[in-house]
Amino acid sequence: MKTILFLAFFIVSIPISAKEYKSLKAYEKSTQKETLSPSDWLKSDRKKNTLVWQKANVYNLKNNLSKEYLTIKQRRDFYVWYISEIEKKGHQVVWPRMALFISQKIKTMNSFPVNIFVRKSVKEYGEDGSIIVFNNVFLDLLALYKSDETLKNDAALNWDKKILHKEQFTWIASLYKTMSSKKIKRIERVAKGKFLFSLFVPKEIRFQGKIELAKDRYKYALDRLRAYCKD
Tell me: do 33 and 112 sit in the same domain.
no
Domains contained in the chain, number: 2
CA distance 152 to 36: 37
C-alpha distances (whole Å) from 185 to each of 204, 210, 211 are 21, 9, 8
In a domain, 59, yes or no: no
Radius of gyration, CA atoms only, the chain? 20
**Cis check: omega of the bond before 113, within 30 degrees of 0:** yes
In order along its 231 residues, the chain shows pLDDT tens digits of: 444 333 333 333 334 455 899 999 999 999 999 999 999 999 999 999 999 999 999 999 999 999 999 999 999 999 999 999 999 999 999 999 999 999 999 999 888 887 888 889 899 999 999 999 999 999 999 999 999 999 999 999 999 999 999 999 999 999 999 999 999 999 999 999 998 888 888 999 999 999 999 999 999 999 999 999 998
Do residues 183 and 125 make contact, with C-beta atoms less than 8 angstroms apart? yes
In a domain, 63, yes or no: no
Tell me: do 78 and 171 sit in the same domain.
yes
User: What is the domain range of residue 108?
Assistant: 69-230
C-alpha distances (whole Å) from 86 to each of 95, 148, 229 are 12, 11, 16
Do residues 37 and 106 make contact, with C-beta atoms less than 8 angstroms apart? no
Cβ neighbors of 226 (< 8 A, separation 6 or more) are: 94, 95, 98, 160, 164
In a domain, 62, yes or no: no
In a domain, 60, yes or no: no
Helix (H) or strand (E) holding 42: strand 41-42
Helix boundaries (H) for the chain: 2-13, 24-31, 43-48, 51-62, 72-88, 95-109, 120-146, 153-166, 173-176, 181-191, 214-220, 226-230
In a domain, 196, yes or no: yes
In a domain, 58, yes or no: no
In a domain, 181, yes or no: yes
Tell me: do 92 and 128 sit in the same domain.
yes
